[in-house]
Amino acid sequence: MYQYILFDLDGTLTDPKTGICRSVEYALHDVGISVNSLDELEPFIGPPLKDSFMEFYNMSEEEAESAIVKYRERFSVTGLYENEMYPGIRELLIKLTKAGKHLAIASSKPTVFVEKILKHFEIYDYFHIVIGSELDGRRGKKEEVVKEALLQLVGDNKELLAGCVMIGDRKYDIEGAQAFGLDSIGVTYGYGGSEELAAAGATYLADKVSDLEKLLLPPANRVKRFLGLVTAISDCILPILFYWLVTTTVVLILTALLQQNGMSVSYQLSVWMNAFGSLAAIPFLLKMIRINHVQETTIRSEKKIRYLLLAILGGSSALFLNMLLSYVRLSELIPLPQSLTDYQSVAQVQYSVSWMEGMMIYGMIMPIAEELLFRGVVFTRIRKYWKSLIAIPASALLFGFYHGNIEQALYGFLMGCMMAYFFWLSNDLLESVILHSAANVIVFTITFNRYVEMHINKPLNCFIFAIISLATWYNLSKHEIS
């Protein structure tokens, strides 16, 4: 049974006909060539564009490269999203992931476009690696793409090649697999057709996505399904346990060093030790995150406005929820052990540091570490196995429970839902970090001084902050995600 599965993209996972054909038509129109129907341009789906322009319209190599530039002019903006995912693909990817398969994309399309399409359909996280061609023409042949995918999947271990399979809809996919002795599955629902795929030597043919499932997954019994569920849950929970282990280890080491030197551990020192523990965990969390969730290093003015709105939303929502919870008094309503309801002891430790120290710890270190963990790793892993509508509250629930105290847990759950939602919406981890940081900064600042807190914490202000939150959320919904 195959353990390493390479997928083509166009015609295999998604139907890109409209976007590709209209972009080809756009490029041909630029050189005075008109087409009667988009159906004429279907042969462009699958093989490298340069080869297609040269083969079907007798272009020279230089003319083909110019046509590609024109093609990308439209495709990178519009054609990219004129695309549909074949029914059943998402469900297949979920099942393969739960079964522990290693999935890869091996496409002739430029990697930058492949990644955008996968993220657009929210299936990027199912793939261990994503390999495509390069915009400068490198890795333009399917063989080169497959070679790089195999190199990253199995390295130099040739024994593992027997467990690899290439899936695609054109002869180029089959030929790319044969170049390395791989089995191949030709999907006839794409654009190559059964005759082309059979003639190319496909090991198997699949007429439907369900046929792919039969070829890639054996019938699962109840024990295997249960073990698959356990594996999925473990994959989502273990990062939290690992984070706890790293932070706890750092705290214990620092405590031992202080005591060895005759120093006692004050509340202030304990806060800093926890912060150092979180800092120590950050490099490990970054390694767990496959994708760069911060979308761009140079932030355009439109993005700056969105980040500002997110900061306002984080601060206003945090104040509204904190005030509301102070009125409800959950600790008095719910009969739980004191360790789960006693917020005062937690606050005593949190506010043992100065305001400037609090800004650094609660405004920077903790938001970055916790967002890497709960959104970057945990939410992303849950979304691999279940739908986003489940991943948002599930990851937020874990985030809330991690805080222990019942009031903080509920607050963490509600804020966690919001942070996960905006991360899911934009795939930009910086958005959830800004929300988290703004919430921590404003709450710590207001509650740091008892007199300021008493002046701010009033029902009318609670209502005002709720209105600000709703208005900001509405503006964010109208603000384009770039």
Looking at residue 325, its pLDDT comes to 86
**pTM, full prediction:** 0.68
Backbone angles phi, psi at 48, to 5 degrees: -55, 140
Query: SS3 for the chain, per residue?
Result: CCCEEEECCECCCEECHHHHHHHHHHHHHHCCCCCCCHHHHHHHCCCCHHHHHHHHHCCCHHHHHHHHHHHHHHHCCCHHHCCEECCCHHHHHHHHHHCCCEEEEEEEEEHHHHHHHHHHCCCHHHCCEEEEECCCCCCCCHHHHHHHHHHHHHCCCHHHHHHEEEEECCHHHHHHHHCCCCEEEEECCCCCHHHHHHHHCCCEEECCHHHHHHHHCCCCCHHHHHHHHHHHHHHHHHHHHHHHHHHHHHHHHHHHHHHHCCCCCCHHHHHHHHHHHHHHHHHHHHHHCCCCCCCCCCCCHHHHHHHHHHHHHHHHHHHHHHHHHHHHCHHHHCCCCHHHHCHHHHHHHHCCCCHHHHHHHHHHHHHHHHHHHHHHHHHHHHHHHCCHHHHHHHHHHHHHHHCCCHHHHHHHHHHHHHHHHHHHHHCCHHHHHHHHHHHHHHHHHHHHCHHHHHHHCCHHHHHHHHHHHHHHHHHHHHCCCC
Looking at residue 326, its pLDDT comes to 84
Which of 29, 27, 17, 108 shows the shortest CA–CA distance to 69? 27
- For the segment 256-291, what is each residue's pLDDT rounded down to a tens digit? 888 888 877 788 888 899 999 999 999 999 888 864
Torsion angle of alpha carbons 363, 366, 367, 369, nearest 10°?
Answer: 150
Least confident of 113-127, 231-245, 333-347, 421-435: 333-347
Alpha-carbon gap, residue 50 to 325, rounded angstroms: 62
Better-scored residue on pLDDT, 301 or 381 = 381
Query: Can you tell me the mean pLDDT for 246-251?
Result: 92
Looking at residue 443, its pLDDT comes to 92
- For the segment 155-176, what is each residue's pLDDT rounded down to a tens digit? 888 888 889 999 999 999 999 9
Burial class for 37, CB neighbours closer than 10 Å (0-12, 13-18, 19+):
exposed
Residue 186: pLDDT over 50 = yes
- Per-residue pLDDT band for 221 (boundaries 50, 70, 90) equals low
Structural tokens at position 317: 């929502």
Burial class for 268, CB neighbours closer than 10 Å (0-12, 13-18, 19+):
middle
Catalytic site residue from 8, 169, 183, 235: 8
Burial class for 407, CB neighbours closer than 10 Å (0-12, 13-18, 19+):
buried
Alpha-carbon gap, residue 97 to 104, rounded angstroms: 11
Torsion angle of alpha carbons 410, 412, 418, 424, nearest 10°?
Answer: -120
Better-scored residue on pLDDT, 124 or 46 = 124
Average pLDDT, the chain: 86
Query: Can you tell me the mean pLDDT for 175-179?
Result: 93
Query: Can you tell me the mean pLDDT for 466-471?
Result: 94
CA distances from 86 to 10, 90, 93, 186, 281 (A): 10, 9, 12, 15, 40
Q: Is 15 a catalytic residue?
A: no
Alpha-carbon gap, residue 114 to 129, rounded angstroms: 11
Looking at residue 454, its pLDDT comes to 85
Strand partners, 205: 186
Percentage of the chain with pLDDT > 90?
49
Residue in this structure with the two tokens 């398969």, named with its chain if needed: 101
Domains of the chain, each with CATH number or no CATH: 4-11+83-216 (3.40.50.1000), 17-81 (1.10.150.240), 293-478 (no CATH)
Q: What residues contact residue 48 under an 8 Å CB cut-off, 6+ apart?
A: 108, 133, 140, 141, 142
- Per-residue pLDDT band for 363 (boundaries 50, 70, 90) equals very high
Query: Can you tell me the mean pLDDT for 331-347?
Result: 57
Query: Can you tell me the mean pLDDT for 425-441?
Result: 91
Q: Is the dihedral of CA 202, 208, 211, 217 positive or negative?
A: positive
Alpha-carbon gap, residue 406 to 411, rounded angstroms: 9
